[in-house]
């Protein structure tokens, strides 16, 4: 079955609007396997995956979720075949250009986290344009992680804090969780309440290592291009059954 663009709808009646996650993070896994099972190229799988992501943005915006962060390309993904990496970079470029009008219309604020310096210059420019054009929007905070690695993010934050201490702008005793969070790529977004991973893999793959400390984790065997409204609905139903104690009784 080919995934089509789906229009967001009102919140399902069996979901409690008072218990919705404020921030959802998603590891979009399984594009290649989705394509291979259909005798198609991995590239087609990646393209179908962008449709699933657009749909998820619509659901989050329509169902009152404040933030969505999607893991699109990790620092380790550069090790894939060059033809696939080049295709993904061009696909990201196309998707950013296509999404700008929709994000402005739907009051979505777009952000990117990761080391963007390695990305193609044209993609960097278009990402910056999308960020600039949507920065005043006050609806869903939609963040894409590109050339992102959790360990690298934490290492970079440590370097910046160490430099501040060395320069006399910070005392070591000033460093706490809140201060450290201000030096992360995700500063100002807030930590995810729910992490969704598709394709059944039971790992977080160097994604938001600091921020996921108390996130509820939902893993589905569904491959990412097939992750639709009903799958997201099921993930939210499961989330609302959890008891979030944050280490307390």
Catalytic (active-site) positions: 29, 77
CB contact at 8 A, 192 and 214: no
Which residues lie below 8 Å from residue 147, measured CB to CB, with a gap of 6+? 73, 74, 75, 78, 114, 115, 116, 118, 119
State the Cα–Cα distance between residues 73 and 57, nearest whole angstrom: 18
State the Cα–Cα distance between residues 183 and 88, nearest whole angstrom: 28
Reading phi first (left if > 0) and then psi (alpha if -120 to 50, else beta), residue 108 is in: beta
Biggest CA pair distance of the chain: 60
State the Cα–Cα distance between residues 222 and 206, nearest whole angstrom: 21
- The gap from C-alpha 145 to its chain's centroid, in whole angstroms, comes to 6
């Amino acid at each position: 079955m080919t995934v089509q663009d789906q229009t967001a709808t009102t919140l399902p009646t069996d979901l409690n609007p008072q218990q919705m996650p404020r921030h959802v993070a998603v590891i979009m896994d399984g594009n290649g396997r989705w394509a291979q099972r259909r005798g198609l190229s991995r590239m087609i799988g990646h393209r179908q995956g962008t449709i699933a992501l657009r749909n998820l943005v619509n659901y989050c915006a329509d169902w009152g979720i404040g933030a969505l962060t999607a893991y699109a390309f990790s620092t380790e993904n550069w090790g894939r075949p060059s033809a696939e990496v080049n295709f993904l970079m061009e696909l990201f470029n196309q998707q950013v250009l296509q999404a700008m009008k929709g994000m402005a219309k739907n009051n979505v604020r777009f952000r990117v986290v990761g080391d963007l310096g390695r990305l193609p210059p044209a993609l960097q420019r278009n990402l910056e344009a999308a960020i600039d054009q949507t920065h005043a929007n006050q609806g869903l905070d939609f963040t894409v992680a590109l050339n992102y690695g959790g360990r690298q993010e934490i290492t970079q934050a440590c370097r910046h804090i160490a430099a501040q201490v060395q320069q006399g702008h910070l005392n070591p005793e000033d460093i706490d969780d809140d201060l450290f969070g201000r030096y992360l790529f995700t500063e100002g977004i807030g930590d995810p309440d729910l992490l969704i991973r598709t394709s059944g893999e039971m790992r977080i793959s160097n994604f938001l290592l600091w921020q996921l400390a108390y996130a509820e984790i939902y893993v589905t065997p569904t491959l990412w291009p097939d992750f639709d409204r009903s799958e997201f609905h099921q993930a939210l139903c499961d989330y609302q059954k959890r008891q979030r104690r944050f280490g307390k009784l």
